[in-house]
Amino acid sequence: MRVLLVGGGGREHALARALARDPEVTELHAVPGNPGIAALATLHGGDVLDGTAVSDLAGRLGADLVVVGPEAPLVAGVADAVRSKGIACFGPGAEAARIEGSKAFAKEIMAAAGVPTALARICDTADEVEEALDAYGPPYVVKDDALAAGKGVVVTRDRDVAVAHAMACRRVVIEEFLDGPEVSLFAVCDGVSVVPMLPAQDFKRLRDGDDGPNTGGMGAYAPLEWLSAGFVEEVVDVVLRPCVDELRRRGSPFIGLLYAGLALGEQGVRVIEFNARFGDPETQPLLELLETPLAGVLLAAAKGRLDRAEPLRWRSGAAVAVVMAADGYPQAPRKDDTVHGLADAEALDEVVVLQAGTALSDDGEIVTAGGRVLAVTATGVSVAEARERAYAGVGCISFDGARWRTDIAGGSADAGQ
């Protein structure tokens, strides 16, 4: 099977590793990829937001499957363009991807499907913003309605900060604050069938102790041993399947990875957000645990044959990913610092370094090129062992201005809030 992977972040490096170890995969290509993915796939240039360019590339390569990683090309309709050429594609079309691309659309789908989520108001004017903030009270939750790379949400007790964020966005969703630990549950979908993965937890805030601004995610781990039995089935029944059914009913079947970001509060499970793609950095630990060959699963989803696929198999034990970010992230990350120690980290037992914001300098060195530079990911028999290994890997790597959290997967169930 020839596979073309679209994207070039840490999630795509994790996907590339899992695709490359599937024995059915004979050729792996990536556009644009990154220096880490270059060791696993043939890289191609091109604009990943251009559906015609991506589908032409897939055609030229004779791709049997295109896997679209990030949300921006999905929302731009790249999966539609690939499918229109008769090439199997893992990733929702533009209409279904609105479940991530527009917070207001996600609320509409959840309301229609009866999925539990925070009460919310869509606000276009300053008056509507003030009324909504009054209605729900602090802590205030203000979300940019448009895609914002995980950085469009402000949760604050400071009303001025809440108002300022609302005014900086064109349209916002203001909603009630959801209490409780957060869990990410991913499901592979073919428009009809829903195949859940293991629950994972992401650490969204920049600093230890869940302090500082929201980021795309500073680390993650799986599985979550503290969850009750039956949790996954409940989320499939109450959240994932109703949304997949609703999208199909509207003529925009969800073919790809549906990501439910959930809060486990006193009133039970409620949806914080949906994403239309694999989460980053949760994908890094998850795919290190996946034993089922990934390309086969994604192809079955792309072809509407998930009902015939075998259930996913997972290795026992746990995996932890610790993100090393550049100084200045998430606002203005500095760039072009040389990254040292990658090989030393990867020489450690069960440690892999998944690159995200990296580039190759003119003299062939790996340098920083984005906010989240890499995720040191390790497996072990337990979360504690995987965590120890991941931090041993972090200890091998250095670049000027590197910052990371020291408490990933280190605490209670609430740690990911």
Q: By the criterion CB under 6 A, which residues form the site for ligand AMP?
A: 118, 141, 143, 150, 153, 155, 175, 177-178, 182, 204, 214, 261, 272-273
* Segment contacting ligand GLY by CB under 6 A, of 16-24, 114-122, 272-280, 385-393: 272-280
**Considering only 158-166, 279-287, 288-296, 353-361, which stretch makes contact with ligand GLY by CB under 6 A?**
279-287
22 binds, among ligand AMP, ligand GLY, none (CB under 5 to 8 A by kind): none
| H or E element that contains 3 | strand 2-7
- What is the C-alpha to C-alpha distance for residues 361 and 35, in angstroms, rounded to an integer? 10
Q: How far is the CB of 334 from ligand AMP (least distance, A)?
A: 24
Work out whether 101 is an interface residue with ligand GLY (CB under 6 A). Answer: no
Among 7, 33, 70, 279, interactor with ligand GLY by CB under 6 A: 279
| Cα–Cα distance, 189 to 308 (Å, whole number) | 13
Question: Nearer to ligand GLY by C-beta: 278 or 399?
Answer: 278
Contact call for residue 288 and ligand GLY (CB under 6 A): no
The listed partner (ligand AMP, ligand GLY, none) that binds 177, CB under 5 to 8 Å by sort, is ligand AMP
**177 closest CA partner among 239, 115, 267:** 267
Distances from the Cα of 264 to the Cα of 214, 219, 269, 273, 339, angstroms? 19, 19, 5, 13, 38
* DSSP string for residues in 244-289: HHHHHHTT---EEEEEEEEEEETTEEEEEEEESS--TTTHHHHHHH
Least separation in angstroms between residue 103's CB and ligand AMP is 7
With CB under 5 to 8 Å by kind, the binding choice for 143 among ligand GLY, ligand AMP, none is ligand AMP
At 163 the three-state DSSP class reads helix
Size of the site for ligand GLY (CB under 6 A): 8
Reported for 266-270, long-range contacts at CB under 8 A and 24+ positions apart, including other chains, are: 266/179, 266/180, 267/116, 268/116, 269/116, 269/231, 269/234, 269/235, 269/238, 269/239, 270/116, 270/117, 270/118, 270/178
User: Toward ligand AMP, which CB reaches closer, 153 or 295?
Assistant: 153
Query: Is position 91 an interface residue for ligand GLY (rule: CB under 6 A)?
Result: no
Of the candidate residues 117, 193, 275, 358, the single one contacting ligand GLY (CB under 6 A): 275
Q: Does 282 bind ligand GLY (CB under 6 A)?
A: yes
- H or E stretch covering 358: strand 358-360
Closest CB 178 distance from ligand AMP, rounded Å: 4
Q: Please state, in angstroms and rounded to a whole number, the distance separating the CA atoms of residues 274 and 179.
A: 17
Beta strands in 140-280 (DSSP E): 140-144, 153-156, 172-175, 182-190, 194-196, 201-202, 205-207, 211-214, 219-222, 255-265, 268-275
Furthest C-alpha separation in the chain: 58
Q: How far is the CB of 250 from ligand GLY (least distance, A)?
A: 24
Q: Which is nearer to ligand AMP, 268 or 395 (CB)?
A: 268
- In 10 A of CB 285, how many CB atoms? 32
- Distance between CA atoms of residues 34 and 57, nearest Å: 18
CB closest to ligand AMP, residue no: 273
> Which residue's CB is nearer to ligand GLY, number 31 or number 200?
200
Tell me the window of 119-127, 152-160, 275-283, 384-392 that interacts with ligand GLY (CB under 6 A). 275-283
Smallest CA-to-CA distance from 234 within 269, 206, 278 is with 269
Is 280 an interacting residue with respect to ligand GLY (CB under 6 A)? yes
202 interacts with ligand GLY by CB under 6 A = yes
DSSP 3-state assignment of 59? Answer: helix
Give CA–CA dist 262/416, Å, rounded: 11
> Measured between alpha carbons, how far is residue 299 from residues 2, 139, 197, 263, 339 in Å?
11, 43, 16, 31, 35
Which listed residue (7, 73, 93, 150) binds ligand GLY by CB under 6 A? 150
Answer for which of 35, 217, 330, 370 binds ligand GLY (CB under 6 A) is: 217
For ligand AMP, the closer of residues 105 and 177 by Cβ is 177
State in angstroms the smallest separation of the CB of 280 from ligand GLY. 4
User: Taking CB within 5 to 8 Å according to partner kind, which of ligand AMP, ligand GLY, none is near residue 280?
Assistant: ligand GLY
Any contact of residue 181 with ligand GLY (CB under 6 A)? no
- Give the rounded distance of the alpha carbon of 42 from its chain centre: 23
Q: Which residues pair with 216 in a beta bridge?
A: none
Cα–Cα dist 367/338, whole Å: 4
In the complex, minimum distance from the CB of residue 203 to ligand GLY, in angstroms, rounded to a whole number: 9
Nearer to ligand AMP among residue 261 and residue 304 (C-beta)? 261
Binding stretches for ligand GLY (CB under 6 A):
150, 202, 216-217, 275, 279-280, 282
